[in-house]
Amino acid sequence: MNLQLALDRLTREECLHIIDETRGSIDWIEVGTSVIKEYGMDIVREIKERYPEKLIVTDMKTMDAGGHEAIQAFKAGADITTVMALSSNLTILDSIEVAKEYGTRIMVDLLEVSNHERIKELEKLGVDLVSIHIGKDKQREGKFDVKHFSLVENCDFEVTVAGGIDLNTLPDVLAKGPDTLIVGSAITKAKNPAEVAAKMKIMMNDASRN
């Protein structure tokens, strides 16, 4: 089970500092949408150069021009880039095609998707990695709830989960066996990010063994 550190609403210096502090516990580094909008592909390149052993996710949240935006991300060093499930089938297919050319992957973000028919369509398109995602604004109505796992039941996806997950909610999420856990504020806003990340990774490892 992977721990993906989500870097959002942070300065370049804060991003690098938090990665350095949590490096021993995290597996994937997500360059968040707001960070990309602030610093562009330069910060993706810098993070890839500084942490070559980590898998880099660019949260592009692509809705159109899938092929073009995927090329931007992969040329900068991303191993995975995100495309929204609400985008057109052509956008998703173009992104997947580019990923195949680069030997990389597409993560399809299920933000605001609750239609099981759309999930089945994604399977038919060849999507193999999805994110069950409760957005930052939506979290004001409640953080990640394990009921959302029902969206991908009986589907052959690699599943990541995101949405306000913290040490308190982590056990219930781990019980559902996601492949990757995406954590942002619970780590980045903690007084001791390294301690929180380490505790989470220990809990994840324990859950994987059970």
> What Å distances lie between residue 10 and 6, 53, 172, 195, CA to CA?
10, 22, 28, 19
Q: Is the pLDDT of residue 76 over 90?
A: yes
Tokens of 162: 């995101």
pLDDT of residue 124: 96
Residue 44 has pLDDT above 80, yes or no: yes
Task: Share the mean pLDDT of the chain.
Answer: 94
- How far apart CA 38 and CA 13 sit, in angstroms, is 13
User: What does the buried/exposed string (b/e) look like for 76-97 if buried means 16 or more CB atoms within 10 Å of the residue's CB?
Assistant: bbbbbbbbbbebeeebbbbbbe
What confidence tier does 139 reach under pLDDT thresholds 50, 70, 90?
low
Is residue 136 predicted with pLDDT exceeding 70?
A: no
Residue 144 pLDDT: 60
Three-state secondary-structure class, residue 107: strand
The residues that bridge with 106 in the sheet, in sequence order, are 81
Q: What is the mean pLDDT of residues 34-53?
A: 98
Domain boundaries, the chain: 2-209
- Lowest average pLDDT, out of 76-85, 126-135, 136-145, 196-205, goes to 136-145
Q: What is the pLDDT of residues 83-115, one digit of tens each?
A: 999 999 999 999 999 999 999 999 999 998 989
Residue 126 CA to chain centroid, in angstroms?
19
Please give the single-letter amino acid code of residue 177. Answer: G
C-alpha to C-alpha distance for 12 and 73, rounded to whole angstroms: 18
CATH number of 2-209: 3.20.20.70
Q: What number is the average pLDDT over the span 123-137?
A: 86
Copy the structure tokens of residue 126.
Answer: 């060849």
Distance of CA 15 to the CA centre of its chain: 16
CA angle 54, 173, 163 (to 5 degrees): 70
Give residue 154's pLDDT: 86
* pLDDT band at residue 163 under the 50/70/90 scheme: confident
94, 70 Cβ separation under 8 angstroms: yes
